[in-house]
Amino acid sequence: MRKRLALGGAVAALAATAFLLGGALSPAHDAAPAPAPVGGSLFPERYTPPYAGADTRRLVAALQRRLRHDPTEVRSLDLLGLGYEQRARETGDPTYYPKAEGVLRRATALSPGDSVAVGGLASLALSRHRFRDALAFGRDALRRAPRSGTNWGIVGDALLELGRYPEAFRAFDRMARVAPGLPAYARISYARELLGRPQAAIELMRDAVDASGLQREPFAWTSTQLGKLYWSIGRLDAAELQYRRALTVFPGYVFALDALAQVEAAHGRYTRAVAVERRAVDRTPLPQFVSALGDLYRVDGRPLMARRQYALMTAIARLLRANGVKTDLELALFQVDHGLRLRAALALARSAQRDRPSIDGDDLMAWALARTGHCGEARRYSRRALRLGTRDAPKYFHRGMIERCLGRHAAARGWFQHALALNPHFSLLWAPYARRYAR
């Protein structure tokens, strides 16, 4: 009886986590909601929800035991699927994704009206960057549960990545009406940032921090996102304060460690930056952390160590693909940024942009075309990438490089100056070029 009660409490904790916090975005931009730094993210934060603090490993084991006794118990299948998704987020291990899909599909086969399982498949599709699938599952989940804020958020996330911005923003507004709180505030904050309103985005992310209720991971997650908003407009001290607050409440929080390493590097403290980024990689070897560590080694004069991290990052991308994650956009951006196999990267970028016709897909195409000498076509994509008025230093830098490629040096200087005025530390690798060309 005592074991049964313990399991019941564990299941309730996981259910509460999934219901209250599922789908809160950052961003990704890795993921992250601040614009992703040059280099992109294969594991965007904005598709990984904050976590209320239950022991997922213990919950997953308890649910597995229960299902061995009764493999047809739909509620346990639902929760196990969500638990596998959470474990993928916690560990960076994408092999949990096929496990999640298997049990959630089994739940829908046993109970075709199961809105929780369909919503779980929708969030899983987001994590795998399968945004058209996420939209279809999300809409199906909405038909079953039209008052679910989580489902409205998933639909909005998918529409956003498909470049359907007015529809996405309407979905976020609807989410805020039916379920005001941290997930809605974070999404609308990101929408404001996309529309070139960083101060308004900051104000709403502060509300998200307040809505976290000082729960360990929700507070750390929202504080980190707030810090990234400050970072994106060059306010290093304000960003660092938020990252350190996150780490005070949640020591070892990997997304805050990764972000703090950027601040250390911006101050020229590369040895400290490497040590902080190394902690993030050792805890959870997400590809964006590994890539960032490689860049830190590179600017610190350790090219061999950098190459090892880049090779590891490419291996992680292969593992992600093997487990159903689409990585074309992020991998192409990594290759273009680092000058690796540029012809193949351009082909990969074209595929990614067709799949994700968002401003990020357009910016990737612009950058890949510029790096391969197709500068006129690159300029057309750059205009599309900036169509929302997003204030994003990497996108400004890319436009500057395109104008320079076209021989329009005065226009190029203007774009480089815009990038540096917004965030003079926007990229370890490329900000020095912006400073050189802005003169």
Tokens representing residue 50 in the block: 């904050």
Arithmetic mean of pLDDT, 229-257: 97
Domains of the chain by start residue, with CATH: 2-326 (1.25.40.10), 327-439 (1.25.40.10)
- List Cβ neighbours of 316 (8 Å cut-off, separation of 6 or more): 42, 285, 286, 287, 290
Query: Are the C-beta atoms of residues 141 and 115 closer than 8 Å to each other?
Result: yes
Phi, psi torsion values for 112, nearest 5 degrees:
-60, -20
Residue with tokens 């959870």: 284
Query: Are the C-beta atoms of residues 120 and 82 closer than 8 Å to each other?
Result: yes
What is the distance between the alpha carbons of residues 280 and 360, in angstroms, rounded to a whole number? 25
pLDDT band at 91 (very low <50, low <70, confident <90, very high): confident
96-124 core/surface letters (b: 16 or more CB in 10 A; e: else): bbebbbebbebbbeebeebbbbbbbbbbb
185-209 core/surface letters (b: 16 or more CB in 10 A; e: else): bbbbbbbbbbbebbeebbebbbbbb
- Residue 391: exposed, middle, or buried by beta-carbon count in 10 A (0-12, 13-18, 19+)? buried
Does the structure show a pLDDT above 50 at 258? yes
Between the two ends of the chain, the Cα-to-Cα distance in Å is 74
What is the distance between the alpha carbons of residues 277 and 28, in angstroms, rounded to a whole number? 18
Does the structure show a pLDDT above 80 at 24? no
What is the distance between the alpha carbons of residues 175 and 153, in angstroms, rounded to a whole number? 6
Query: Are the C-beta atoms of residues 295 and 428 closer than 8 Å to each other?
Result: yes
**pLDDT reported for residue 113:** 87
Query: Are the C-beta atoms of residues 208 and 25 closer than 8 Å to each other?
Result: no
Neighbours of 136 (CB within 10 A): 17
Does the structure show a pLDDT above 50 at 11? no
Q: Is 248 helix (H, G, I), strand (E, B) or coil?
A: helix
pLDDT digits (tens, 9 = 90+) for 288-343: 999 999 999 999 999 999 999 999 999 999 999 999 999 999 999 999 999 999 99
What is the distance between the alpha carbons of residues 222 and 178, in angstroms, rounded to a whole number? 21
Tokens representing residue 338 in the block: 């680092």
As a whole number of Å, the CA-based R_g of the chain is 21
pLDDT digits (tens, 9 = 90+) for 350-366: 999 999 999 999 999 99
**pLDDT reported for residue 76:** 96
- List Cβ neighbours of 29 (8 Å cut-off, separation of 6 or more): 35, 36, 37, 40, 41, 44, 45, 46
Query: Are the C-beta atoms of residues 239 and 230 closer than 8 Å to each other?
Result: yes
**pLDDT reported for residue 54:** 58
What is the distance between the alpha carbons of residues 188 and 208, in angstroms, rounded to a whole number? 10
